[in-house]
């Protein structure tokens, strides 16, 4: 019987832990998925088999390999932040395969840290998908309102990558339709672009004004702050 090791790559190149790097080099086979985030430049001195979304969701290829040999799956961020990876983990355990998880730096902790917001004052995280024909959900808009006075981390669609400008525009368009006062022209919005990278860019401002800012290449993340502690307010002032 083999084993399956989930290894978090963190939020940018160079964020993989020393333990994760050591395990990735030790395993018999190494798989990776990048559909949930950017492509990482990771040189292990060996082949890395890149899997697409369907292969990850089905999980058969990895599970079968792990039943015979030591297998690593490299995942952006923290590997257990996505339910797809949890499903694979549980399936492997049901088959008697040894499973280990090596955590990585996640966007869920990195964005609050970069902005200077208290992590425990965040409510439910929401995601904005691209509107499509017969698919224009508004649940994330209402969740931001329901979270208040807590902060809201807003993640953006990755297929194709959505910019913060587009995300804010979508929220403002919903506001114009629903008129609930959740994302008005005056609502404070924070954007973190390329969290953890050398060219990380952070900007805070009123929704109507900040939506025209050039944030540079994706990935981007949005935060809609709730009630601010005076130290949080002082921190955000530096990025306004």
Q: How many domains does the chain have?
A: 2
Which pTM does this prediction carry? 0.91
pLDDT per residue rounded down to tens, the chain (240 residues): 799 999 999 999 999 999 999 999 999 999 999 887 777 888 888 899 999 989 998 989 999 999 999 999 999 999 998 788 999 999 999 999 999 999 999 999 999 999 999 999 999 999 999 999 889 899 999 999 999 999 999 999 988 999 999 999 999 999 999 999 999 999 999 999 999 999 999 999 999 999 999 999 999 999 999 999 999 999 999 999
Sign of the C-alpha dihedral computed for residues 80, 127, 240 and 198 taken in this order:
positive
C-beta neighbour count of 151 within 10 angstroms:
24
CATH number for the domain that contains residue 226: 3.30.950.10
DSSP helix/strand/coil, 65: helix
Whether 125 and 152 have beta carbons less than 8 Å apart is answered as yes
Closest CA to 137 of 146, 147, 145, 126: 126
Q: Are residues 98 and 116 in the same domain?
A: no
Domain of 218, in residue numbers: 107-238
Shared domain for 139 and 228, answered yes or no, is yes
Domain boundary pick from 102, 131, 149: 102
């Amino acid at each position: 019987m083999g084993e399956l090791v989930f290894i978090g790559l963190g939020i940018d190149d160079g964020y993989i832990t020393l333990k994760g790097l050591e395990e990735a080099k030790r395993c018999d086979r190494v798989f990776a998925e990048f559909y949930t985030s950017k492509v990482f430049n990771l040189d292990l001195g060996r082949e890395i088999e890149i899997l697409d979304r369907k292969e990850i969701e089905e999980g058969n290829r990895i599970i079968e390999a792990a039943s015979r040999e030591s297998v690593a799956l490299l995942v952006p961020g923290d590997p257990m932040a996505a339910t797809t990876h949890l499903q694979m983990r549980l399936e492997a355990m049901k088959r008697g395969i040894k499973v280990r998880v090596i955590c990585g730096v996640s966007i869920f902790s990195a964005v609050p840290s970069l902005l200077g917001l208290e992590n425990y004052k965040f409510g439910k995280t929401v995601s904005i998908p691209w509107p499509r024909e017969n698919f224009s959900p508004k649940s994330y808009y209402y969740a931001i309102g329901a979270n208040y006075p807590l902060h809201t981390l807003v993640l953006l669609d990755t297929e194709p990558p959505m910019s913060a400008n587009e995300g804010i525009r979508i929220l403002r368009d919903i506001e114009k339709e629903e008129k609930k006062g959740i994302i008005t022209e005056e609502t404070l919005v924070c954007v973190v672009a390329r969290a953890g990278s050398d060219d990380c860019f952070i900007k805070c401002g009123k929704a109507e004004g900040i939506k025209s800012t050039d944030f540079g290449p994706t990935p981007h993340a949005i935060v809609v702050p709730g009630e601010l502690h005076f130290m949080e307010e002082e921190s955000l002032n530096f990025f306004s």
